[in-house]
Amino acid sequence: MTTSFETFQLLSPEITLFLAAIIAYLAAAFSGFQAGWLIAITGLGIAISLTGNQPESGATISSGPITIDGFSFYIRLLTYTAGLMLALVQSGDYWKAAIQDNDAEQRRRVTGEEAGTFLILLAGLSLVGLANDLVLLFIGLELVSIPTYILLALKRTDAAGQEASLKYFFLSLVASALFLYSVVCLYGLGGSTSLPAIGNQLQSLGCTVAPIAEGSIAVGTITISMAAVLLPVTLGMAFAGAAFRMAAVPMHFYAPDVYEGTSTSNTALLSTLPKIAGVVMLSRLIALAIPPLGSQQNSGPVAETLLLQSWQVLAVIAAITMTVGNCMALLQNNLRRLFACSSIAHAGYLLIGLAALAAAATSGQGPLGGESIAETALALNGLGSTLFYLATYVVATIGFFGGLTYLGHRWPEWSTSIDEQPQLEEIKTVDDLNGLSSTNPVAAFCLATFLLSLAGIPPLAGFWGKLSLLTSALSVDSGDAIFGDRKGWFIGLSVVLVLNAAIAAAYYLRLITAMYFKSTDKGVQADGGLSSGLAMIVCLIVLVSISIRPQRLFNSALQAGNTLSGTLVTETMALFTTNTSTPSNTITREIENGLR
């Protein structure tokens, strides 16, 4: 695999972010320039302009270790858009409050370092989406992890902040080590670091071919035996690494403590960007076992085993993660701990679409050996549903934390009997939102809208996201499973999704009740700065736009998912649109009409 000048041209947005990061570092170090987040926002704007338009369905540009297609474009654009909103939220931490603590000026001096580190994080996450090579994929993930715990340490210098940074640091090392071991196993199975080459090797292992010599059969048998041993180990370590980044069970336990110990703006970052990386990791892993479906060639037994084990593990983890996260959130009064538990639950929702994708890609589904082309297409769209839900979740989460950052601190209680200034009281608990609708009605309305979307209340974007995941899960056909029927697994998973959505509505509505139906003896200063308030308003506009017309984003997500999961969905969807008398087209039209 060679790297050419074309590779650097395709990487021009990421190179722009690295150059902007260097400028932010040097400007802060040598000229005292303190508007680091202005450089970050400018660099992100240029990077977005260099990204271009989404490739046509099926169009792929490969150069060296990167691939530009519908999937990588979607991840890149989602990363930069989320990064732009997060930069506005992050810069909101440096506006003066009515009462300043002693080290407020010190915090404002590190904006250059924070902005530069943040840009490197975004560039690394974008490289994760573009990578078609194990080495670049691992490097990109490390460029996400290392800047993250540096940002945690820079933002909060008190004991709680340093504790959060250290916890994330050590657990991140464990997750990175586990994923590195899975990379080694994948290299052993595929004989290459190229993801397409590994996929071809996995799909061909065990296929019926005419042996050239007797030695070929022996070698093939040994390879399959080794694969049978290495595959569960590889999947387990890869899932553990992805689970840490997504805050999914069993790697979820760090989230409440780390979220509580860091700043509000960093909580927004932790809730969104690592989840994008986790989704990409799992999507790439599942895609290794999916052959070019247009060739009408089934996977070999090794790839089938990978898909079978993947969907079963993902389905179990999704159900447990949703339930654990939502039940933990019911017991929380601290806002950041509550949203840490909510973030865990949303990781479970995201895994449903990936489980449906892996199950639909097995040989017992649809035209690969099953009954219904329509059900296969809808189930294979599980990745598109996950990408659509991911976008709606990112917008609502950044908007909510942008609103919290904008609100800043509560008004202190002044007293003439003491000479000391009252301490700053950051908005931390649910009770701190009491009566917000009377003191800050615009902020209360925005926060309530974001909460209702996260709860999946129609017709907001979060509802359409959950509906698409539910549709993908219910479209999985019957097939083999360790216990029971495959369709029964996904019906049960769908029931768990609905029940957890009801549980989540309880604690989201508790926050809305506090803002609209309770009174308070103190208001909020709204000292978080205009930039975080702007991020809140922009996220509200985007969320409402998706809620009114979700089809455009949904089609982009489906195109991105289809690019990675094969050509079958594209072909069958074209069949649906040309033959309006088939029942499968009726199913497709119903979904599209609902999204309109």
Is 288 inside a domain boundary? Answer: no
68 residue type, one letter: I
Band of pLDDT at residue 228, cut at 50, 70 and 90: confident
- For the chain, report the end-to-end CA distance as a whole number of angstroms: 44
Q: Which span out of 291-300, 379-388, 438-447 was modeled with the highest average pLDDT?
A: 438-447
In this structure, are residues 433 and 515 in contact, taking their beta carbons and an 8 Å threshold?
yes
Paired strand residues for 409: 426
pLDDT for the residue 69: 86
In this structure, are residues 346 and 400 in contact, taking their beta carbons and an 8 Å threshold?
no
pLDDT for the residue 2: 63
Looking at the structure of the chain, the number of domains it has is: 1
Distance CA 271, CA 393 (A): 9
Is 290 inside a domain boundary? Answer: no
Is 289 inside a domain boundary? Answer: no
Write out pLDDT tens, residues 488-508: 889 999 999 999 999 999 999
Write out pLDDT tens, residues 200-212: 888 877 654 333 3
Asked if the peptide bond before residue 256 counts as cis, ω within 30 degrees of 0, the response is no
Residue 483 has pLDDT above 70, yes or no: no
- pLDDT: which is higher, 496 or 425: 496
Phi, psi of 290 (to 5 degrees): -95, 115
Contacts for 473 with CB less than 8 Å, ≥ 6 apart: 352, 353, 355, 356, 382, 490, 491, 493, 494, 497
Write out pLDDT tens, residues 557-584: 988 888 876 533 333 333 333 333 333 3
pLDDT for the residue 7: 82
Tell me, rounded to whole angstroms, the distance of Cα 169 from its chain centroid.
Answer: 20
Residue 407 has pLDDT above 60, yes or no: yes
Write out pLDDT tens, residues 149-178: 899 888 776 777 788 888 899 889 999 999
Is 434 inside a domain boundary? Answer: yes
Write out pLDDT tens, residues 66-105: 888 889 999 999 999 999 999 999 886 554 444 444 444 4
Band of pLDDT at residue 320, cut at 50, 70 and 90: very high
Is 294 inside a domain boundary? Answer: no
Q: Which span out of 30-39, 135-144, 299-308 was modeled with the highest average pLDDT?
A: 135-144
pLDDT for the residue 32: 66
Is 419 inside a domain boundary? Answer: no
Is 359 inside a domain boundary? Answer: yes
Write out pLDDT tens, residues 17-68: 999 999 999 988 887 666 788 899 999 999 999 987 666 655 678 777 888 8
Distance CA 315, CA 305 (A): 15
195 three-class SS = helix
Letter string b/e over residues 54-83, b meaning 16 or more CB atoms within 10 A of that residue's CB = bbebeeeeebbbbbbbbbbbbbbbbbbbbb
> Mean pLDDT across the chain, nearest whole number?
81
For 85-202, list the strands marked E by DSSP. none
Residue 181 has pLDDT above 50, yes or no: yes
- pLDDT: which is higher, 320 or 295: 320
Residue 44: domain span: 5-97+106-282+299-412+424-595
Is 541 inside a domain boundary? Answer: yes
Closest CA to 227 of 259, 197, 186, 194: 186
Distance CA 556, CA 487 (A): 27
Assessment of whether the complete model's pTM goes beyond 0.95: no
Work out whether the CA dihedral 506, 395, 526, 418 comes out positive or negative: positive
Band of pLDDT at residue 585, cut at 50, 70 and 90: very low
By mean pLDDT, which of 94-108, 220-234, 434-448 is the weakest? Answer: 94-108
